[in-house]
Structure formats: C-alpha cells, structure tokens
Amino acid sequence: MARIYLSPPDLSEADHKAVAAALASNWVAPVGPELASFEASVCEMTGRQAGLALNSGTAALHLALRELGIGKGDIVLCPSFTFAASANPILYCGATPVFLGSEARTWNLDPEALKEALEVLSASGQKPKAVIVVQLYGQCAEMPAIEKLCADHEVALIEDAAEALGASCDGRPAGSFGDFSFFSFNGNKIITSSGGGMLLSNDVAKLEHARKLSMQAREPVTHYEHCELGYNYRMSNVLAALGRSQLADLERRISVRKGHYAAYESALGDLPGLAFMPVVDAEAANFWLTCITIDPLKSGTDSASVIKHLEESNIEARPLWKPLRLQPVFEGIQYFGNHIEEDLFSKGLCLPSGSSLTDNERETIIKLVRSCYNKS
Ligand SMILES: Cc1ncc(COP(=O)(O)O)c(C=O)c1O
C-alpha cells in the first residue's frame, strides 16, 4: 500500500498552471509580480497593512524579533508546547527564552502562566521584551486575555500563526494579532508554497525594513553597500505563484480537514480513554491536524502502540509536540505553568489529516486504531 502521510502537499491542476505561468514569465528569482499579489491576498484576508513573503516561517519570526530590537540579554516568553521553530529564533538573536505552560481549553499558552511570568520577572528587574503566542494545530489561543496582559505590561506581542491560516478568534482572523504575526507554508501546512512563510504587521515602516533585511540589507545605491546585517530570506516568485494558487483553495481544504475530524470523532469517540483535542468553536478552527489523547490506564493501549501499529501498515502518525522545556537544546530554561502539556505529550498523537486523504484511507486508519483496543 502507498504510504499515507500525516499532512502531505495537495496539488491541483490550477497549481501546476500557476507555477508554469510563473516559469514562462521568466520571473523565477525572489522578485516579481506574484510576490506582491500573494502578499496582497494574505493582507486582505487578515486585514493587515503589510505582508512580506519569505522562504520560511522561521525566517519571519527571526525578522519580527529583529524589528522589535530583541538582542543579547533580552527575555522573550514563548509557549513550551510548540515546534522548536517557535523558539529557535530567540536564540538566533542572542536573547533568552522563558517557557510558558498550556491551558486545557485550547492546549495553547495559558494566560495565567503568562500573568505569573510577567509579574515575577518584572518584579525581579527582568521584564520580558516580547511574548510569542502560538495558535497550535489550527486553533487560536485565548487572545483577548493575552492581548490585555501584553498591553498592561507594555510588552510586544508576536503571533505564531504558522499552523492556523484560515482560523479565527472572536471573528478576528489568525495572522491579525500582535505587533507582528506570521504564517508558514511549508510542505505539511494547510496550504504550501513548497517551503515559505509570511510576516505581517500594521507597522508598515518596520515591515519595509524587514523587507530590506530579508534581501541582504542592501542600501539603495548602485554598488553593493551594506550598513546593517542582512539575510537571504526572500521567497521566490515561482513559489509565491504556488502559494497564491493554493490560497484560493483554502476554504475547501478547511472543510475537508474538518470532515476528517468529524469522521474520526464519530468512529473513535466511544473508545475508553480516547479523547479529541477540544475544539472551542468549530467555525473558528482550521482543523489542520486531528489530535487525540489516549489514557493508557483507561484504554489498555497507548499512543506509542497506536503510532507503531499504524506505521506497520505504512501510515504516518506522530506524537504531539514534545514540550520545548523537555528538549535537550533548551535544557535549563526557566518555566512558568502547570505542566499539562507534558501530560498531553505523553498521551497524544496526530492522525493523518491531509486534504488529499480519501474516505477509504481514513476508514483503514480508523479500523487500525480500533484494532489496537481489540488486541488489548
Ligand atoms: C508552530 C510553528 N511555528 C513555526 C513553524 C516554522 O515554520 P517553517 O517551517 O515555515 O519555518 C512551524 C512549522 O514548521 C510551526 O508549526
């Protein structure tokens, strides 16, 4: 059987045509009309003033931190329950991350942990310079509470919406929160530009400066003049064409992924000790991945056995994000929270959820998960 991936790229005839047209136009480098159009489309959907298409979401976060003046000795708060790319750029800047725990309602950054960290660190003269909030697995965090805490403490907010294109919170789109926000368009995201990301802001001047940094910080003179440190972070015009074509298909993709969640829930929801990632508002999530937890004490099986059983049938499932606090590369980093994400990591997994997953493939996955219970 052909391998079933967790969330593979889903390419249409229209995508092929968009890429072919970009190639035929000869705008194949990181400059050209597709870049401006892709940026304008994402700005329109998020209500942001300015967008910058880049070669990754990680690059977008790095530039956001640079634009906020984050440097050596600065503290940046970041959820522990996320992918390493949410925190790595803090280290690129020579700054220090402090990790925050999750809350049970959305699995995202716990406002209580944020409050405690802001108060404790500020009282000891170590006021954080920025907060990164992550919209995990396509569902937004408790944004009003987080925004208020950042405003009260006058701390900058960056929204990592890498996984949340098309999601929203109280009617406000993911990608519209904070001083800066960003999306990822890497191969496993809800839309892909092969690899890529986009930085967004309402601060047009800062965003334009980030644009300059993303192209080696070249000064606007005839020869190559560089007064500040730059990067080669810009997206190719060919990939912007792909991203723009995929974006036009976003609504269908969300509804297919939502269908996977519903089908898994109705077929597996009766199993003892098996729970689904809580979805606070089904109209507001993008259902990027269907995530479940399996309590070994109530199930007689566990997430590692289910992942192994699926793998034996050439099906990819993955554990939930390993909390950054437990990652060797971040050893010794300070933490505020109640460790619920560590429990989620020990019990949780993501099921194949791609928009090209067929009903038959999903049925096979459901049978295999159920058979783990029968075995036990
Ligand atoms: C939560 C989160 N943040 C950041 C990133 C980084 O994005 P990229 O892979 O485009 O660098 C990703 C995805 O990889 C992610 O899932």
Whether the CB of 194 sits within 6 Å of ligand 1: no
Average pLDDT, the chain: 97
Q: With bands split at pLDDT 50, 70 and 90, how would you rate the model's confidence at 372?
A: very high
Structure token pair of residue 13: 């005839």
Q: Quote the CA–CA distance of 22 and 237 in Å, as a whole number.
A: 7
Q: Ligand 1 centroid to 86 CA: how many Å? A: 7
Cα–Cα nearest to 78, from 67, 59, 65: 65
Q: Which CATH number fits domain 13-247: 3.30.1700.10, 3.40.640.10, 3.30.160.110, 3.90.1300.10?
A: 3.40.640.10
Whether the CB of 186 sits within 6 Å of ligand 1: yes
Whether the CB of 56 sits within 6 Å of ligand 1: yes
Residue 95 has pLDDT above 80, yes or no: yes
Helix orientation angle between 33-46 and 237-247, rounded to the nearest 10 degrees? 40
In this chain, the answer to whether the domains covering 13-247 and 250-375 adopt an identical fold is no
Whether the CB of 139 sits within 6 Å of ligand 1: no
Q: Whose CA is nearest to atom 7 of ligand 1?
A: 57
DSSP string, 159-198: EE-TT-TT-EETTEETT-SBSEEEEE--TTSSS--SS-EE
Counting residues of the chain whose pLDDT is more than 90, the rounded percentage is: 99
Phi, psi of 132 (to 5 degrees): -105, 125
Residue 376 has pLDDT above 60, yes or no: no
Q: Whose CA is nearest to atom 3 of ligand 1?
A: 86
Domain ranges of the chain: 13-247, 250-375
Whether the CB of 128 sits within 6 Å of ligand 1: no
User: What is the structure's pLDDT at 340?
Assistant: 98
User: What is the structure's pLDDT at 1?
Assistant: 78
What pLDDT digit, counting tens, does each position of 316-370 carry? 999 999 999 999 999 999 999 999 999 999 999 999 999 999 999 999 999 999 9
Cα–Cα nearest to 1, from 314, 352, 358, 312: 314
User: What is the structure's pLDDT at 144?
Assistant: 98
User: What is the structure's pLDDT at 374?
Assistant: 74
Structure token pair of residue 162: 């890498």
What pLDDT digit, counting tens, does each position of 126-135 carry? 999 999 999 9
Q: Whose CA is nearest to atom 12 of ligand 1?
A: 162
Q: Ligand 1 centroid to 265 CA: how many Å? A: 27
What kind of architecture, by CATH, is found in domain 250-375? Alpha-Beta Complex (3.90)
Contacts of 209 (CB under 8 A, 6+ apart): 67
Cα–Cα nearest to 264, from 296, 297, 287: 287
User: What is the structure's pLDDT at 375?
Assistant: 66
